[in-house]
Amino acid sequence: MLILAAALTLALGTPQTQPAPPDVAAPPADAMKTASGLATKVITPGTGKDHPTKDDIVIVQYTGWTTNGRMFDSSVSRATPQTYPVARFVPGMAEGVQMMVTGEKRRLWIPENLAYKGRGNLPKGMVVFDVELMSIPSRAPSDVKAPPSDAKKTASGLAYKVLKEGTGGRHPKTSDKVTVHYTGWTTDGKMFDSSVVKNQPATFPLDGVIAGWTEGVQLMVEGEKARFWIPEKLAYKGERPPYGLLVFDIELMKIN
């Protein structure tokens, strides 16, 4: 993927379906320019409040053009959002993404010294990217330390809150296999595992996971996303890390 600093080859054969913006040749007068030479303009304001840092992992959609309007790469054309560590972006992209919030779409005019630096068969000169910051999966939620007052609690001590309503009509049973996307954090905000970051949903039998998952996922329906606060006795029981209360965002994608 060409937005990565380590990219060495063009994404040949990418469908040419994303037309270049009218200002692709040069930043317009209302674009903001940073000290590094990067020019940016917000296309769609975001709804989030947090900005990613260089240590974060982000999920983005993007399209890149040369200044003559040739599209050279596009996750939009592939209909596949991309998950990347910010630190692996080319410098101009890394700087620009850190200026954004979740839900924002921004256009970046990246000079060659902040892009591919004339290397190999990569695009030469200034390049232009439209980037949408979809989420920051590495960033812990604000209520990671403890369940909020509107969280529900079960008799076992499991606390949960629905983040997105599902579309399914049935709940999985202990004997079912399920496919999920998930991210887990410790209460100090450290992410320790994530299928979202790996960009690979996980499939497993519900009777083969920690007790908090077995109980919690059975409360869900397909399409639902929920946050779970799982006490240590329902997680790894102090037998191995991570220790203590754990927080998981889980999306139930399919009951197999």
Task: Kindly name the residue from 130, 248, 249, 255 that is annotated as catalytic.
Answer: 248
Q: Could you say which of 89, 160, 182, 228 is catalytic?
A: 182
Distance CA 196, CA 59 (A): 9
Rounded Cα gap, residues 134 and 145, in angstroms: 24
To the query of whether residue 210 is one of the catalytic residues in this protein, the response is yes
User: From the candidates 23, 72, 176, 210, which is the catalytic residue?
Assistant: 210
Tell me how far apart the alpha carbons of residues 3 and 60 are, in angstroms, rounded to a whole number.
Answer: 11
Question: Is 3 a residue of the active site?
Answer: no
Bridge partner residues of 127 (DSSP): 66, 110
Residue 43 a catalytic site member: no
Catalytic residue among 23, 72, 193, 204: 193
Q: What angle do CA 43, 49, 50 make, to 5 degrees?
A: 105
Mark whether 248 is an active-site residue: yes
Classify each residue of 94-109 as buried b or exposed e, where b means 16 or more C-beta atoms within 10 Å of its C-beta.
bbbbbbbbbebbbbbb
d(CA 24, CA 85): 26
What residues are labeled active site?
182, 192-193, 210, 236, 248
